Chain A
Amino acid sequence: MEAFFQHLINGISLGSIYALIALGYTMVYGILQLINFAHSDVYMVGAFIGFYSARWLHVSDSPSYMNFFTVLIIAMVGCGILGFLIERLAYRPIRNAPKLNALITAIGVSLFLEYTGQIVFGPTPQVFPNILSDSIIFSTTSGGVRITRFDATILLTGVGLMIVLEYIIHKTKLGKAMRATSYNSQWASLMGIPVDTIISMTFVIGSALAAAGGILVGIKYPKIEPLMGIMIGLKAFIAAVLGGIGNLGGAVLGGIIMGVAEEFVVGYGAATYRDALAFGILIIILLFRPAGLLGHFSVEKV
Chain B
Amino acid sequence: MINVKRTLVFPGLVLLACWGVGLIFPDLFNAYFQTLVIYSCINIILAVSLNLVNGFTGQFSIGHAGFMAAGAYMSAWLTMTFPHWAGPFLGINFFFNTIAGGLLAAAAGYGVGLPSLRLKGDYLAIVTLGFGEIIRVVLLNIDAVGGARGMYGIPKTASFGWAAGWVFICILTVSRLVNSTHGRAFLSVREDEIAAESVGINTTQYKVRAFVISSFFAGVAGAIFAHFLCYLNPNSFNFMKSIDVVVMVVLGGMGSISGSVVAAIIITLLPEALRPLQEITKLDFRMVIYSLTLIVLMLTKPQGLFGKLEVSDIWKKYVRRSS
Contacts and interface: CB of A to CB of B under 8 A. Distances in A.
A90 B125 CA distance: 20
Contacts of A276: 133-134, 137-138
B13 interface: no
Interface stretch (B76-84, B150-158, B291-299): B291-299
Interface stretch (A101-109, A133-141, A217-225): A101-109
Given A97-B302, A99-B122, A275-B137, A112 B291 contact: yes
Contacts of B138: 276
B283 interface: yes
A290 interface: yes
Interface in B27-53: none
Nearest to A111: B291
A198 to B, nearest CB: 21
Interface string A106-144: 011111101110110000000000000000000000000
B110 interface: no
A111 B115 contact: no
A100 B60 contact: yes
Given A276-B137, A279-B133, A290 B294 contact: no
A279 B123 CA distance: 13
B141 A272 contact: yes
Contact of A111 (B127, B134, B290): B290
Nearest to B240: A111
Contacts of A119: 283-285, 288
A97 B298 contact: yes
Q: Secondary structure at chain B's binding surface: helix, strand, loop or mixed?
A: helix
A94 B299 contact: yes
A241 B288 CA distance: 29
Contacts of A241: 123, 126
Interface in B102-140: 115-116, 119, 121-123, 125-127, 130-131, 133-134, 137-138, 140
B119 A290 contact: yes
Contacts of B145: none
Contact of A115 (B119, B284, B298): B284
Interface in A249-279: 272-273, 275-276, 279
A180 to B, nearest CB: 23
A273 B123 CA distance: 23
A283 B130 contact: yes
A237 interface: yes
A109 B295 contact: yes
Contacts of A109: 291, 295
Most buried by B among A34, A114, A286: A286
B243 interface: yes
A90 B134 contact: no
B284 A100 contact: no
B294 A105 contact: yes
A302 interface: yes
Contact of A118 (B119, B125, B141, B284): B284
A33 interface: yes
B207 to A, nearest CB: 15
B122 A275 contact: no
A302 B126 contact: no
Interface in A14-35: 33-35
B194 interface: yes
A101 B254 CA distance: 11
A280 interface: yes
A114 B130 CA distance: 20
A165 interface: no
Interface in A75-114: 90, 93-94, 97-105, 107-112, 114
Contacts of A280: 134
A105 B299 contact: yes
B248 interface: no
B8 interface: no
Nearest to B60: A100
B287 interface: yes
Interface of A: 33-35, 90, 93-94, 97-105, 107-112, 114-116, 118-119, 230, 237, 241, 272-273, 275-276, 279-280, 282-283, 286-287, 290, 300, 302
| 5 residue pairs, one from A and one from B, having the closest CB atoms | A108-B294, A111-B291, A112-B291, A115-B287, A279-B130
